[in-house]
Amino acid sequence: MNFFFEGPGAAQNIGQFGLLFILLFLHFPSSSLMQQLCVTPDQGQAPATQFPRFKCHHFQQLHGKQPRIAIVGAGITGTTLAIALTRRNIPFTVYEQSLRATEVGAGLGIGPNAVRAMKIIDEKLFESFLRVRTPRDIRSLASKGCEVQEWKGKEEAPVWIEFLDGTSPVDARKLEPAFKVFAKAGDHLGAVQRAKWLEVLMGMVPGGVVQFGKRLEGIEQDGERVILKFEDGTMAEADAVVGCDGVKSKVREVLVGGREMYGAKSGYSGKYAYRCMIPMESALEVLGRERTGVSSLWMGHGRHVLTFPLGNPGTGQLLNLVAFVTDSNQSWPKQDSRSFTLPATREDVLRDFDEGGFSRTIQNLLRLTKDKMDKWGLFDLAVQPLPTFCSSRILIIGDAAHASTPHHGSGAGFCMEDVAVLSSLLEELVWSHDEPNHWDFESVFAALDASRRERDQWLVQSSRRAADLYEWRLPNTGKEHFEAMRKDIEERQVVCWGIDLDKTIREAKDDLRRRRGVLTQAAAR
């Protein structure tokens, strides 16, 4: 048996109560006594008997086997889930197809919903975010010469993004925003470099639990066993599988019954993007300090450009640039249907933005991009949304379940919400487990699906609409309709950020208890 003692004076408690505990356990080796001595997450108070407060590490070992969870994918979602399970003492192994931890893309936006999820997953995760983030608006930092970590975001409502007319001939230094979208005062908004953020996350995962070079080939279910087969010829066994393997998810293919089945493959959204990080000193010459110090979205016909700062002022700071284009062909080359990137050049992006009437400012900014870059096709699950995120003991979350375009800047936040709810449900299962050698992952996964699917799939659809708003492709959009556009965008951001995660988790736990109660009664009959 393994126990973790918590709180001040833990060592003294062990000495004072260790012998007493052993004698009691030998005399009363019952689960009821153990439940009195162990403090579960929902109890919150020490038992009335005033025994030392400690948490049983897999109290279920006394009754049967430990659960074994296989996480497929070591990107941001899979690694965050690993952190959540580590904190809750739930055994797992991560299987990642790459030979090392990697993350594509440059900057990643983090909104208040993501921050709330981090705090539920592990408070240390939130603390790590504060250390590496760049606030969405650093203009005051630049003038004060202070570090990002000193900024607390409590003085006033922080700017999430400023929207500008990308076709205006007015110089960027003098151009006023068409409108702004704010978060609430005290919200910890920010952006992180994807690779750096994943490095931080991996540092919070115990050694030896991530296996690299494991490209999934298939999954078989045999009663309560799940067998994972990998392309290198090896196999692994688990009690449950959680697919966190992203937009090209192999677990999703297995879940729906094959690669050619409905929902197996993500679809081309009809838009692509050029991504680049520009040295801040170069960007300052084109945009000026005011415009480079805040997240800005430059709107125009059939295209838009997003820029935001990354890094501390004066310490290797960069301007992250993403230039989005609506594809006139509305199709991605079939020969590259499994590759979402194509080689591109600076001339390609300049040629794309010759159309749409974009200003000289935008043209000059795009000239700062690299000679050679990638063109990223934006794929999602909007056309074929999944009817379920789970099947028996297989579950998908994050981009594997609801791959979205990035136009709300909330994809990572929704993935973290998934992890917060799932880890809370798994914790509920572990602490309430009373069936020897049986773990009811089916009910956990069904409760997660019921809690998350509608909201997650709303993001996929809303993100597409948001892009069409930015690109003036819808009725009542464009120069004469900025106020109506602002209201529409704000309403959507409220949905993105406004979730009450504590309430969501309570309701999901209640649903789990109902499902397990029904299953127990049915088994009794």
Task: Annotate 483-517 with three-state secondary structure.
Answer: HHHHHHHHHHHHHHHCCCHHHHHHHHHHHHHHHHH
Backbone φ and ψ for 495, nearest 5 degrees, come out as -65, -45
What is the pLDDT, as a whole number, of residue 12?
A: 42
DSSP β-ladder status, 240-243 and 394-396 = parallel
| N-terminal to C-terminal alpha carbon distance within the chain | 35
Q: Tell me which of 136, 252, 275, 291 is the catalytic residue.
A: 275
Alpha carbon 311 to its chain centroid, in Å, reads: 21
By CB atoms closer than 10 A (0-12, 13-18, 19+), residue 509 is buried
Residue with tokens 């640039």: 321
Q: How confident is the prediction along the chain (525 residues), in pLDDT tens digits per residue?
A: 333 333 334 444 444 444 444 444 444 443 333 333 333 333 333 333 232 223 334 444 444 567 899 999 999 999 999 999 999 999 999 999 998 877 666 788 899 999 999 999 999 999 999 888 887 766 654 433 333 333 344 346 778 899 999 999 999 999 999 999 988 877 788 889 888 899 999 999 999 999 999 999 999 998 889 999 999 999 999 999 999 999 999 999 999 999 889 999 999 999 999 999 999 999 999 999 889 988 999 999 999 999 999 886 545 589 999 999 999 888 888 755 668 999 999 999 999 998 778 999 999 999 999 999 999 999 999 999 999 999 999 999 999 999 999 999 999 999 999 999 999 999 999 888 666 557 899 999 999 999 999 999 999 999 999 999 999 999 999 999 999 999 999 999 999 999 999 999 999 999 999 999 855 554 444
Angle of helix 441-470 relative to helix 482-497, nearest 10 degrees, comes to 170
CA distance 163 to 205: 38
Do 474 and 464 contact (CB within 8 A), yes or no?
Answer: no
> What CATH superfamily classification does 69-380+387-521 receive?
FAD/NAD(P)-binding domain (3.50.50.60)
Local structure of residue 166 (DSSP, 8 states)? T
By CB atoms closer than 10 A (0-12, 13-18, 19+), residue 8 is exposed
How far, CA to CA in Å, does 255 sit from each of 222, 262, 385? 15, 11, 13
* 367 given a catalytic annotation: no
- Report the b/e string of 59-93 with b at 16+ CB within 10 A: bbeeeeeebbbbbbbbbbbbbbbbbbbbbbbbebb
What is the pLDDT, as a whole number, of residue 391?
A: 96
What is the pLDDT, as a whole number, of residue 132?
A: 87
E strand spans, 142-292: 159-165, 179-182, 190-193, 210-212, 216-222, 225-230, 235-238, 240-243, 267-279
Parse the chain into domains and list their residue ranges. Answer: 2-57, 69-380+387-521
DSSP β-ladder status, 267-279 and 240-243 = unpaired
Alpha carbon 443 to its chain centroid, in Å, reads: 23
Query: Which of these, 326, 330, 328, 366, lies nearest to 348 by C-alpha position?
Result: 366
Alpha carbon 16 to its chain centroid, in Å, reads: 44
CA distance 79 to 77: 6
CA distance 474 to 42: 48
What is the pLDDT, as a whole number, of residue 519?
A: 52
Which are the contacts of 249, defined by CB distance < 8 A and separation ≥ 6?
73, 243, 396, 399, 400, 401
Q: Is the C-alpha dihedral spanning 424, 508, 514, 454 positive or negative?
A: negative
By CB atoms closer than 10 A (0-12, 13-18, 19+), residue 290 is middle
CA distance 416 to 453: 14
Q: Is the C-alpha dihedral spanning 174, 175, 179, 180 positive or negative?
A: negative
CA distance 78 to 422: 12
CA distance 420 to 414: 10
- Report the b/e string of 95-118 with b at 16+ CB within 10 A: bbbeeebebeebbbbbbbbbbbbb
What is the pLDDT, as a whole number, of residue 18?
A: 46
Kindly state the helix (H) or strand (E) to which residue 291 belongs, with its residue range.
helix 280-292
Could you tell me which residues are beta bridge partners of residue 109? 191
Half-sphere exposure of 160 (CA within 13 A, CB side): 24
pTM: 0.84
Kindly state the helix (H) or strand (E) to which residue 56 belongs, with its residue range.
strand 54-57
